[in-house]
Amino acid sequence: MIKHISVVIIVKNGAQTLSKTLDSIRAFEDVIVYDNGSTDASLSIASSYANVTLHQGDFFGFGETKNLAASLAKNDWIFSLDCDEVVSAELLKNLQKTIFNNTFVYEVFRNNYYNNKRIMYCGWGKESIPRIYNRIFTSFTDSMVHEKILTKDLSLMPIYGELMHHPYASLSDFIIKADRYSSLYATNNVGKKKSSPSKAFFNGLYSFMRTYVLKRGFLDGWVGLVIAFSHMVTNFFKYMKLYEANKEAGYQ
């Protein structure tokens, strides 16, 4: 049993993937699941695991909510995990062997999948992402979206082994997440950044071209086309929603 690291997960309506995530981390003694308004089976799934402590509360943006959830853990060493990520046996084994040092933030290597098909291009290839940190020395930024662990004055150290990411199970998931993330972006940046219909159009267009052509999304087949189009839609709507929010608040 891994007793010196707490796994922290925030979730809302993550029932499709949550069981696989929690199955992969049964070796951890302390797992915090912070649910922020699920209406699916997420609560009952989390409650069925003996090593899980379930908390319920509001969502304040990804960064602030992850920091709140981390404060509920038993240990200072935090492994931040999403409810659609699965820890491989190799990664788990290497986590057990690692002697953690307070001067480091530890990064893991994540591969992205759509319906069990690994995505190789679109900018979705293997990612190196900081995920394990000591909450006494650092935390996530307070950003509503695109939150990250602060690494100033700390060094990054890799822990090898695959983290499998399953962010989308259907085409509908792309639409739902595009709407959610574009709304969060607008809310987080109203009055701080300017926007316009032309900015929305050209950012959306560039996003599609970058994903499908420059990052060779076309090599991922029809899934690459869906991902590129989703990026385009998300970028278009995040700037249009910001434009609308600025106008309503008198900033435009």
Domains of the chain: 2-168 (3.90.550.10), 171-249 (no CATH)
| Mean of pLDDT values over 46-65 | 97
Reported confidence tier of residue 16, pLDDT bands at 50, 70, 90: very high
- Is residue 145 over pLDDT 70? yes
* pLDDT tier for residue 97 given thresholds of 50, 70 and 90: very high
Contact 83, 156 (CB under 8 A): no
Express as a percent the part of the chain with pLDDT over 90.
Answer: 94
Integer Cα distance of 250 and 4 in angstroms: 50
SS3 87: strand
96 vs 86: CA distance, rounded Å: 16
Q: Which residues pair with 28 in a beta bridge?
A: 2
Mean residue pLDDT across the chain: 96
Cα separation, 119 vs 222, whole angstroms: 11
* pLDDT exceeds 90 at position 116: no
**pLDDT band of 239, cuts 50, 70, 90:** very high
Question: In the predicted model, what is the mean pLDDT of residues 76-81?
Answer: 98
Q: What is the pLDDT of residue 185?
A: 94
pLDDT category of residue 197 using cuts at 50, 70 and 90? very high
The pLDDT of residue 187: 92
- So what's the pLDDT on residue 186? 95
Q: Region 31-56: what's the mean pLDDT?
A: 98
The residue-averaged pLDDT of 155-183 equals 95
Tell me the C-alpha distance between 129 and 142, whole Å. 18
Confidence band of 6 (pLDDT split at 50, 70, 90): very high
d(CA 242, CA 252): 10
Q: Which residues contact 38 (CB under 8 A, 6 or more apart)?
A: 11, 12, 13, 14, 15
The token duo for 9 is 């997960």
pLDDT higher at 79 or 251: 79
Nearest one of 151, 177, 153 to 62, comparing CA atoms = 177
Cβ within 8 Å of residue 6, ≥6 positions away: 28, 30, 31, 32, 70, 73, 74, 75, 77, 78, 79
Give the pLDDT confidence score for residue 115 in this predicted structure: 87
pLDDT at 252: 66
241, HSE (Cβ side, Cα atoms, 13 Å): 18
pLDDT at 251: 85
Rg of the chain over all Cα atoms, to the nearest angstrom? 19
